[in-house]
């Protein structure tokens, strides 16, 4: 029978690669919590309506990328393609926005039916955050500075910040009309995708990756020249804080982002080390989204990063993560040792809290047992034979080089701590 494989574009994380994920997740979690963001975990499935109403009907995501299905009751459900809409929904459902300015972060899988390739998957993972109720540019700056700090904490270099300001929806509507006039005048240069967008979502033409369209796009009228005074002031406030903090950025007039709900500030962090999938993080302000989803008029801003792309970039920059190694590998010798091995292991765990101890759960010769101990990567083997069990001792042997010796289980804690801090060499000197 043929073996069943995972769904195309949906990948397993196996124990050998899990530490890379854990490092990124742990680093991001610690940093976000330290800035006052609390974790929120919405379900992976939502009513389809939620995404249609927030992301926008004529966006790529809603038009062609969602995993939508009817459940057994005939209700249309969707595997979340992103998490902002879910966070807003949850915040409203639990009245977390009333007279408060909460900050949330999340992580988890997202689903989009895209063409799988390096850096682009059908199940991928995001870490993101959202902050509500703060209309000024300070929170925009805080989020951007937090991200710059996160890249440093992850050991990442060569990530550039691009910024733009989308203005209000009224200003965007005005600009849209000008853009359509301009694109109509150059209609013969547009590709099929852009012609479709010209009718449905003309701003997205600016986002086109088609190299042939680039000269045309370069010369389009600029959105930033059409925004109102208040938005311009907001943007100037943001760039002033970034300037003061010494953070470099580039104003990219073509940055429009793929989701409809953005207003004012939008940003992306990009790298040239990941080929075509070079955007590692995107975000922006969405002052209209909460009310669009039926809540009180509440400003919001957030970002989301692609965990796979972050890990791939860390690889490209040779940022290794140490694989976790157990402290000790427990081997039983002789018949009596076998039955007593698990109670002994529990006693060791009681005596040395936090010890990472792997028990050799298979039979075989002493030689094969030690081979397995070596392969485990543990710093020491703990050996229990009949004599040790009777004495309440255990033999300890540094893996690699070093002599075996017996110690009391009570003394194990200090011995292991010494080995951890000084290496196994000193073991020869202990009695
Ligand atoms: P792209 O232009 O690359 O399609 P996007 O604008 O659709 O990205 P967002 O919706 O802003 O992406 O998602 C935020 C981040 O999530 C992206 O910057 C990227 O790092 C990551 N991401 C988005 N789609 C995928 C995917 N299919 N596979 C892996 N990562 C993804
Ligand atoms: Mg996309």
Q: Are 138 and 234 in contact (CB under 8 A)?
A: no
Predicted pLDDT of residue 125: 98
Report the pLDDT value the prediction gives residue 430, as an integer from 0 to 100.
45
- Which residue, by CA, sits nearest to atom 7 of ligand 1? 258
Q: Whose CA is nearest to atom 9 of ligand 1?
A: 282
CA angle (65 as vertex; 275, 92 as ends), nearest 5: 110
The predicted-structure confidence for 237-249, as pLDDT tens digits, reads as follows 999 999 999 999 9
**345 token code pair:** 């292991």
Least confident range of 71-85, 90-104, 138-152, 397-411: 397-411
CA of 301 to the centre of ligand 2 (A): 19
Best-predicted range by mean pLDDT (23-27, 215-219, 257-261): 23-27
pLDDT of residue 425: 54
Lowest-confidence pick of 27-36, 348-357, 414-423: 414-423
Report angle CA 419, 422, 424 to the nearest 5 degrees. 45
CA 369 centroid distance within chain: 39
Q: Which helix (H) or strand (E) holds 370?
A: helix 366-375
Residues 68 and 7: their CA atoms lie apart, in Å, by: 16
Q: Is the pLDDT of residue 28 over 60?
A: yes
Q: Are 389 and 337 in contact (CB under 8 A)?
A: yes
- Which residues on adjacent β-strands are paired with residue 270? 160, 279
Residue with the larger pLDDT of the pair 300 and 62: 300
Confidence band of 429 (pLDDT split at 50, 70, 90): very low
Tens-place pLDDT, residues 77-136: 999 999 999 999 999 999 999 999 999 999 999 999 999 999 999 999 999 999 999 999
Q: What is the pLDDT of residue 259?
A: 66
Question: What stretches of 325-379 adopt beta strand conformation (E)?
Answer: 328-332, 357-359
Tell me how far the alpha carbon of residue 60 lies from the centroid of ligand 2, in angstroms.
7
Q: Is the pLDDT of residue 171 over 90?
A: no
Q: Which atom of ligand 1 is nearest to the CA of 310?
A: 20
* Atom in ligand 1 nearest the alpha carbon of residue 82: 10
CA of 399 to the centre of ligand 1 (A): 45
CA distances from 359 to 15, 127, 150 (A): 18, 35, 38
Distance 369 CA to ligand 2 centre (A): 51
- What's the CA gap between 281 and 360, in Å, rounded? 44
DSSP 3-state assignment of 333? coil
The helix (H) or strand (E) run that includes residue 243 is helix 229-245
Both tokens assigned to 147: 């991200």
Distance (Å) from CA 144 to ligand 1 centroid: 18
Mean pLDDT on 186-206: 89
Lowest-pLDDT choice from 222-226, 269-273, 318-322, 324-328: 222-226
Q: Whose CA is nearest to atom 21 of ligand 1?
A: 306
Q: Specify the residue with its C-alpha closest to ligand 1, atom 11.
A: 282
Hey, is 255 helix, strand or coil? Answer: coil
Residue 394's pLDDT is what?
Answer: 93
Residue 419: pLDDT band by 50, 70, 90 thresholds? confident
CA count, 13 A, side-chain hemisphere, 128: 28
Give the architecture-level CATH label for domain 328-422. 3-Layer(aba) Sandwich (3.40)
Q: What is the pLDDT of residue 186?
A: 92
338 has a pLDDT exceeding 60: yes
- Give the percent of the chain with pLDDT over 70: 97
pLDDT at 418 over 60: yes
- Give residue limits of the domains in the chain: 18-168+227-316, 328-422
- Which alpha helices (H) appear in 270-322, and where do they start and end? 289-292, 307-316
pLDDT value at 293 more than 90: yes
DSSP state at residue 64 = I
This prediction's pTM: 0.91
Q: How far apart are CA 108 and CA 19, in angstroms?
A: 16
pLDDT for the residue numbered 417: 84
Question: What's the chain's average pLDDT?
Answer: 92
- pLDDT higher for 285 or 404? 285
What three-state secondary structure class fits 282?
A: strand
Q: Whose CA is nearest to atom 25 of ligand 1?
A: 120
Shortest-distance Cα residue to atom 5 of ligand 1: 258
- Best mutation site among 210, 282, 312, 313 for ligand 1 pocket (most ligand atoms within 8 Å of CB): 282
Using DSSP bridges, classify how beta strands 123-132 and 279-285 pair: parallel, antiparallel or unpaired.
unpaired
Pocket of ligand 1 from Cβ distances under 6 Å: 82, 112, 114, 119-121, 124, 126, 258, 277, 279-282, 304-306, 308-309
Mean pLDDT of 206-224: 88
Q: How many CB atoms lie within 10 A of CB 416?
A: 21
Secondary element (H or E) of residue 67: strand 67-70
Q: Which fold has domain 18-168+227-316?
A: BirA Bifunctional Protein; domain 2 (3.30.930)
Q: Which residues does 362 contact at the CB level (< 8 Å), separation at least 6?
A: 369, 372
Mean pLDDT of 156-174: 91
Average pLDDT over residues 148-159: 98
Rounded Cα distance, 289 and 76, in Å: 22
Q: What pLDDT, on a 0 to 100 scale, did the predictor assign at position 431?
A: 40
Rounded Cα distance between 431 and 406, Å, is 9
What is the pairing mode between strands 279-285 and 300-306? antiparallel
Q: Which of 54, 56, 67 shows the shortest CA–CA distance to 114?
A: 67
């Amino acid at each position: 029978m043929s073996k069943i494989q995972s769904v195309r574009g949906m990948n397993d994380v196996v124990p050998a690669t899990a530490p890379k994920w854990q490092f990124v997740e742990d680093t991001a979690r610690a940093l976000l919590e330290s800035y006052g963001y609390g974790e929120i975990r919405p379900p992976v499935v939502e009513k389809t309506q939620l995404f249609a109403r927030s992301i926008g009907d004529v966006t790529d995501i809603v038009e062609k990328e969602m995993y939508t299905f009817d459940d057994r009751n005939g209700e249309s459900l969707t595997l979340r393609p992103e998490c902002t809409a879910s966070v807003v929904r949850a915040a409203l459902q639990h009245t977390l926005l009333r007279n408060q300015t909460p900050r949330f972060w999340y992580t988890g899988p997202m689903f989009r039916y895209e063409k799988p390739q390096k850096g682009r998957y059908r199940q991928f993972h995001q870490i993101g955050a959202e902050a509500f109720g703060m209309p000024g540019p300070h929170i925009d700056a805080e989020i951007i500075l937090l991200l710059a700090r996160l890249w440093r904490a992850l050991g990442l270099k060569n990530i550039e910040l691009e910024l733009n300001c989308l203005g209000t929806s009224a200003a965007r509507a005005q600009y849209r009309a000008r853009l359509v006039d301009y694109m109509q005048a150059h209609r013969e240069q547009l590709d099929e995708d852009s012609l479709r967008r010209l009718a449905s979502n003309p701003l997205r033409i600016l986002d086109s990756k088609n190299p042939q369209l680039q000269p045309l796009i370069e010369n389009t009228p600029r959105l930033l020249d059409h925004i109102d005074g208040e938005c311009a002031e907001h943007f100037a406030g943001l760039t002033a804080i970034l300037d003061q903090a010494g953070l470099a950025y580039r104003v990219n007039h073509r940055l429009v982002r793929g989701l409809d709900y953005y207003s004012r500030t939008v940003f992306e962090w990009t790298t040239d080390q990941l080929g075509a999938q070079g955007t590692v993080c995107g975000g922006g302000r969405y002052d209209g989204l909460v009310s669009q989803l039926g809540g009180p008029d509440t400003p919001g801003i957030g970002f989301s990063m692609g965990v796979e792309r972050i890990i791939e970039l860390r690889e490209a920059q040779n940022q290794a993560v140490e694989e976790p190694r157990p402290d000790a590998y427990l081997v039983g010798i002789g018949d009596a040792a076998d039955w007593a091995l698990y109670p002994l292991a529990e006693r060791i765990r009681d005596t040395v809290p936090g010890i990472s101890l792997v028990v050799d759960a298979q039979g075989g010769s002493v030689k094969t047992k030690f081979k397995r101990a070596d392969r485990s990567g543990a710093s020491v083997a703990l050996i229990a034979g009949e004599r040790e069990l009777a004495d309440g001792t255990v033999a300890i042997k540094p893996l690699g080089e070093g002599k075996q010796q017996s110690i009391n289980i009570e003394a194990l804690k200090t011995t292991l701590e010494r080995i951890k801090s000084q290496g196994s060499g000193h073991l020869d000197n202990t009695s």
